[in-house]
Amino acid sequence: MKKFGSLADFILEGNKHFLPALSIDNVVFGFHDNQLKVLLLKLKTINKWILPGGFIFKTEEIEDAALRILQERTGLKEIYLQQFHVFGSRKRNKQKFFKDLYKEMGIDLPDDSWILQRFLTLGFYALVEFEKVRPLADDLSAQISWWDVDKLPDLMFDHKEIIETALKDMRLKINHQPIGFNLLPREFTLKNLQSIYETILDRKLDRANFNRKILSYGILDKKEKQYTGGAHKAPYLYAFNKQAYFKALQEGLEKNF
pLDDT digits (tens, 9 = 90+) for 131-189: 888 888 777 788 899 999 999 999 988 999 999 999 999 998 888 889 998 888 899 99
| Per-residue pLDDT at 210 | 94
Could you tell me the pLDDT band of residue 255, with boundaries at 50, 70 and 90?
low
Cβ(8)–Cβ(52) below 8 Å = no
Which DSSP category does 183 fall into?
T
Which DSSP category does 33 fall into?
T
Q: Which fold has domain 190-251?
A: Arc Repressor Mutant, subunit A (1.10.10)
Q: What is the DSSP string of 73-112?
A: HH---S--EEEEEEE--GGG--HHHHHHHHHHTT----TT
- Work out the number of other CB atoms within 10 angstroms of the CB of residue 51: 27
Q: What is the C-alpha to C-alpha distance for residues 254 and 171, in angstroms, rounded to an integer? A: 16
| Cα separations in angstroms, 129 against 32, 72, 151, 181 | 9, 16, 20, 8
256 has pLDDT over 70: no
Q: Where are the domains of the chain?
A: 7-173, 190-251
Stated pTM of the model: 0.86
Question: What are residue 50's DSSP bridge partners?
Answer: 41
Percentage of the chain beyond pLDDT 90 is 48
Percentage of the chain beyond pLDDT 70 is 95
Residue 139 identity (one-letter amino acid): D
| Per-residue pLDDT at 76 | 83
Sequence-ordered list of residues with C-beta below 8 angstroms from that of 83, at least 6 positions apart, any chain: 62, 63, 66, 122, 123, 124
**Are 7-173 and 190-251 equal in CATH topology?**
no
| Per-residue pLDDT at 234 | 72
Which DSSP category does 235 fall into?
P
The more confident residue out of 60 and 132 is 60
| Per-residue pLDDT at 228 | 64
Nearest to 119 by CA among 42, 51, 54: 54
Q: In CATH, what number does 7-173 get?
A: 3.90.79.10
Could you tell me the pLDDT band of residue 231, with boundaries at 50, 70 and 90?
low
| Per-residue pLDDT at 37 | 94
Nearest to 27 by CA among 202, 182, 159, 138: 159
Could you tell me the pLDDT band of residue 206, with boundaries at 50, 70 and 90?
very high
Cβ(236)–Cβ(222) below 8 Å = yes
The more confident residue out of 195 and 45 is 195
